[in-house]
Amino acid sequence: MVNYLHETRIEAPRKVVWEWHTRDGAFDRLAPPWETIETISAPPDLSPGGTRVMKMKMGPIKMKWVAEHTDMIEEELFADRMVRGPFKRWWHTHRFIKENSDVTVIRDEVSYVIPVGFLGRLFGGRYVRKNIENMFTSRAISLKRDIMRHQSFSEFPRKRILVSGASGLIGSQLIPFLDTGGHEVIQLVRRKPLDENQRYWDPENGELEPSLFDGIDAVIHLGGVGIGDKRWSKKRKQAIVDSRQKSVTLLSETMASLEQKPEVFIVASAIGIYGDRGDEEIDENSTYGSGFLTDTAKIWESSADAARDAGIRTIHLRTGIVLSPKGGALGRMLFPFKMGAGGPIGSGKQWMSWISMDDHIAAVQHLMMTKDCEGMYNLTAPNPVRQKMFAKTLGRVLRRPAFAPLPGFVVRILFGELARPLLLEGQKVLPRRLLDSGFEFEHSNLEDAFRDCLGKWKPQ
């Protein structure tokens, strides 16, 4: 049996740290961002006997992990054991130690047995130990970061929030983050609701029950047909526009018609609204560009006019490249880079305006909770980089070469019309209004952002 101990010191009262762990979103926020883990079923709380069933991948192998809660002492500890999974045995005790009134130490005590006896220990022991160390390092970073972000708004009332696009790349992290902050989150879904936290709507056919907004303080709309998921045909481009125009218009006009309106309406948008601008520095006061993405973003934002005209504080998130190994630009780049086949795309001189996932979801909460924030905000880190530097930095973090170029003509053949605006052109976008509002970035440096989301920290 192998024993592993990890301690995390958090500058927050024990009650706050304990309550964070009791909320539904805690598991998702503690899962390492590079791991593919899907919860199939979860217990209602941390009480003994509750069972969580998960699907996960270890390398190319898919498996199920079933964990059972075995012990709990309020604000002091909870424990679980593996019923089914990759280990022969796994026990995990989470202890909450009060260092003083404002500091809590979480002590994670893990005991495990690797399968296949001596051979398992011989060939897999170091690999397993390293993965466990990375997992708990990631958990500590996420926990401290999230609690710090939530503590900055601890004196404000929690909000009841309606969110669409919950299953998307950003929504799947935003919802757990808001939940662990004590907000009540209700998801708008386009299928039969699976639980009490979901509500049905059909923006394609204009179906949205006004009573769904009863008691709602904030509405966050992240939905829309993926812009870079498929080649652009005439039909695909129309779907991209329609999915945004119809859904935002339906939400906006429905809210405007209500007697009791939500306080704030936050709508996803994109920095594509600025078009290809070369080396020009872009902020929220810059003029619009031209082309399909610009036209789409303009329609997207103007579709919220009814809510804005009705006095609802309306915010447009002009988002850049969100860094996540689970999808988006980084998710698509990881495999070739891990194989040593990554490198510059086209000339490599085009600007890439990026933002870490943690900064993006924290910025959404910041804008929602800060009553003076209204209008357009660039959600990009303060230090955009050229594509060649983006590729070089990713290669360095992965310890792989990054000099295999992908010529522009090949990109155009592979991706068609979307190649130029999404891959071969760019914008040097700065988040001036977000910084002026008092938001502090966790990741201003691209390499630090890569290392955190990929679990590739430098040795201490």
Q: What is the pLDDT of residue 352?
A: 97
pLDDT for the residue 254: 98
Q: Is the pLDDT of residue 339 over 60?
A: yes
Q: CA-CA distance, 425 to 277, in Å (whole number)?
A: 8
Q: Residue 415, SS3?
A: helix
User: Given this structure, which CATH class describes domain 2-151?
Assistant: alpha beta
What is the rounded CA–CA span in Å between residue 270 and residue 359?
Answer: 16
**d(Cα 215, Cα 185) in Å, to the nearest integer?**
12
What are the DSSP calls for 209-269, one per residue?
A: -GGGGTT--EEEE-----SSSS---HHHHHHHHHHHHHHHHHHHHHHHT-SS--SEEEEEE
Task: Give the model's pLDDT for residue 117.
Answer: 60
How confident is the model over 143-150, as a mean pLDDT? 97
CATH class of the region 160-452: alpha beta
Q: Lowest-pLDDT range, 10-24, 56-70, 294-308?
A: 56-70
So what's the pLDDT on residue 120? 55
Tell me: pLDDT of 119 over 80.
no
- Indicate where the chain has its CATH 3.30.530.20 domain(s): 2-151
Q: What is the pLDDT of residue 414?
A: 81
Q: Which two tokens stand for residue 47?
A: 């009480």
Closest CA to 2 of 107, 132, 101, 106: 132
Q: Report yes or no: 180 and 150 within 8 Å, Cβ to Cβ.
A: yes
Is the pLDDT at 334 greater than 90? The verdict is yes
Q: How far is CA 70 from the centre of its chain?
A: 31
Residue 177 — very low, low, confident or very high, per pLDDT cuts 50/70/90? Answer: very high
**Cα separation, 13 vs 11, whole angstroms:** 7
Ramachandran category for residue 340: left, alpha or beta (phi over 0 → left; psi -120 to 50 → alpha)? left
Q: For 196-239, what is each residue's pLDDT tens digit?
A: 899 999 999 999 999 999 999 999 999 888 898 888 999 999 99
Contact in structure between 59 and 128 (CB atoms under 8 Å): no
What pLDDT does residue 213 have? 96
What percentage of the chain reaches a pLDDT higher than 70? 97
For residues 55-69, give the mean pLDDT: 86
Judge whether 362 and 438 are in contact, CB under 8 Å. Answer: no
Of 22-26, 291-295, 346-350, 412-416, the poorest mean pLDDT is in 412-416
Beta bridge mates, 92: 80, 110
Q: 26 pLDDT exceeds 90?
A: yes
Model confidence band, residue 418 (pLDDT cutoffs 50, 70, 90): confident
Res. 128: pLDDT tops 90: no
pLDDT range class, residue 419, cuts 50, 70, 90: confident
Are 97 and 104 in contact, with CB atoms under 8 Å apart? yes
Give yes or no for a contact between 329 and 342, defined as CB atoms under 8 angstroms apart: no
Q: CA separation (Å) from 395 to 94, 290, 336?
A: 36, 33, 10
pLDDT band for position 124 (cuts 50, 70, 90): low
Check if the beta carbon of residue 46 is closer than 8 Å to that of residue 96.
no
Please list the residue range(s) of the chain that carry CATH number 3.40.50.720.
160-452
Kindly state the average pLDDT of the residues 62-78: 95
Model pLDDT, residue 116: 63
pLDDT at 121 (0 to 100): 58
